Amino acid sequence: AALRVGEALGGPVVAVIREVNEPSRKVAEKAGMHKDRTIPYGGVPSDVYVA
């Protein structure tokens, strides 16, 4: 996923989570990760979370 972003990231990629996966997004945020951007991944919009 990091290679598909094509720009400098705000930290190491920890997770790529689909926009509709709210439970995983909450877990990532509780673990201290933050959303860097949204990319098309596997044909669907997915959020790139970085540490």
Break the chain into its structural domains and give their ranges.
2-50
Q: Which tens digits make up the pLDDT trace of 29-38?
A: 999 999 999 9
Q: Give the pLDDT score at 12.
A: 77
Beta carbons of 3 and 34 less than 8 angstroms apart: no
Q: Give the pLDDT score at 4.
A: 54
Which helix H or strand E contains 40, and what residues bound it? strand 34-41
Beta carbons of 51 and 10 less than 8 angstroms apart: no
d(CA 40, CA 45): 4
**Does 13 have pLDDT greater than 80?**
no
Count helices and strands in the chain by DSSP H and E runs: 2, 3
Beta carbons of 31 and 17 less than 8 angstroms apart: no
**What mean pLDDT do residues 10-27 have?**
87
Taking the model in full, what pTM does it have? 0.74
